[in-house]
Copies of this chain bind each other. A is one copy, B any other.
Amino acid sequence: MKYRVKQIDYKEIIKDIAPADLKALAQAKERMDQLVKPLGSLGKLEDISIKIAGITGNVKNKLEKKCVVIMSADNGIYEEGISSSPKEITLLQTINMTKGICGIGVLSKASGSDLRVVDIGIDSDYENEKIVNAKIRRGTNNFAKCPAMTITEVELAINTGISIISDLVEEGYQIIGTGEMGIGNTSTSSAVIMALTGATANEAVGRGGGLTIEDFEKKKKILENALILNKPDKENPIDVLAKVGGLDICGLVGCFIGAAFYKVPIVVDGVISIAAALCAYRMNNNIRDYMISSHISKEPAFIVAENEMALAPMLDMNMRLGEGTGCPLAFSIIDLACSVMNNMATFSEVSIDTEYLVDNRK
């Protein structure tokens, strides 16, 4: 059954996305600084719990209902032979995700998270009721030869992402992770980040799943040429996405917009996710207030985007599987961050003589 995208147009909501709740942020910071520990000594656990307060508007939070959204799509750039895996993997692994036997399936379950697997552009027709059929088209065009897709398709994919987040919020989910499956999507992500930032191929292209040196050089050349051919407007993320993006990235852009609109924290995980996050950020800087970054990716384009947004990833895992596999790890740490805010005593609550503890805060 085809997914029905809700009547939510990103153009109508994007300008209304507000920054984090300044009052809740201030109250959360105030409480955090009263807890029995030296100021700032719990580092990113403090930052995360305060950020979440700013998102939800409440100082104390318990984010029990978690979901990782997987956007799956094929990419026309695959034709250029610069991916280390065959294209059929996109569908096969998307199906495996619904069986809970691949990386994201296992890690989600172990961390108490659900998965929402969305076909937003797999180049194949099949029947699987566990996969949301929100296919915009069967894969994109090869952007080495022409634009990847039309503006209308980009917009529909973004609105689909927002609609999926709207569903999840209605179902009671309190935190969202971003995952993907799409052979060729490190190429599209690098191209999007290069187009938005002006980074060169040497600065922003990695060896992906395991390219040879020759194929790596070829990948850089193809991406550089594609940008020359398509001339994406670096000030216009929609134009960049249409020319050198992918449907998975567009869907994730919608997820970031939707999470900010509905005020739920959303985890940025890996280079494809951060390419989408950067597009959303460029459309409205406030959206960054709703993002939490999981692990440091070794993909060079990730670092370029991270340098602009300064999201400060919490994990250093050498992970490069993708699929959103860093999200369940981040969920676990975020839960612990919230427990600090919720359950540590303040100096004034400690019944024993607190004079020394107050001194300790100097």
Chain A interface (Cβ < 8 Å from any Cβ of B): 36-38, 41-45, 84-86, 88-89, 92-93, 95-96, 99, 101-103, 106-107, 109-111, 209-210, 296, 313-322, 325, 328-329, 332-333, 335-336, 339-340, 343-345, 349-350, 352-353, 356-357, 359-360, 362
Judge whether A103 and B320 touch: CB under 8 Å: no
* Given known A-B contacts A36-B102, A357-B89, A44 and B352 have beta carbons under 8 A apart: no
Judge whether B106 and A356 touch: CB under 8 Å: no
Q: What's the minimum C-beta distance from A16 to chain B, rounded to whole angstroms? A: 34
Once bound together, how far apart are the Cα atoms of A357 and B319, in whole Å? 19
Q: What's the minimum C-beta distance from A222 to chain B, rounded to whole angstroms? A: 20
Judge whether A101 and B345 touch: CB under 8 Å: yes
Contacts of A343 in B (CB 8 A): 101, 106, 109-110
Once bound together, how far apart are the Cα atoms of A99 and B36, in whole Å? 12
8 residue pairs A–B, Cβ–Cβ below 8 Å: A36-B102, A41-B209, A41-B322, A45-B317, A86-B360, A107-B336, A315-B333, A333-B333
CB < 8 Å neighbour of A328 from B43, B102, B322, B336: B336
Judge whether B352 and A95 touch: CB under 8 Å: yes
Q: What's the minimum C-beta distance from A40 to chain B, rounded to whole angstroms? A: 8
Contacts of A316 in B (CB 8 A): 44, 296, 313-316
Contacts of A89 in B (CB 8 A): 356-357, 360
Once bound together, how far apart are the Cα atoms of A24 and B319, in whole Å? 23
Once bound together, how far apart are the Cα atoms of A296 and B362, in whole Å? 24
Judge whether A362 and B107 touch: CB under 8 Å: no
Judge whether A38 and B340 touch: CB under 8 Å: no
Q: What's the minimum C-beta distance from A362 to chain B, rounded to whole angstroms? A: 6
Contacts of A359 in B (CB 8 A): 85-86
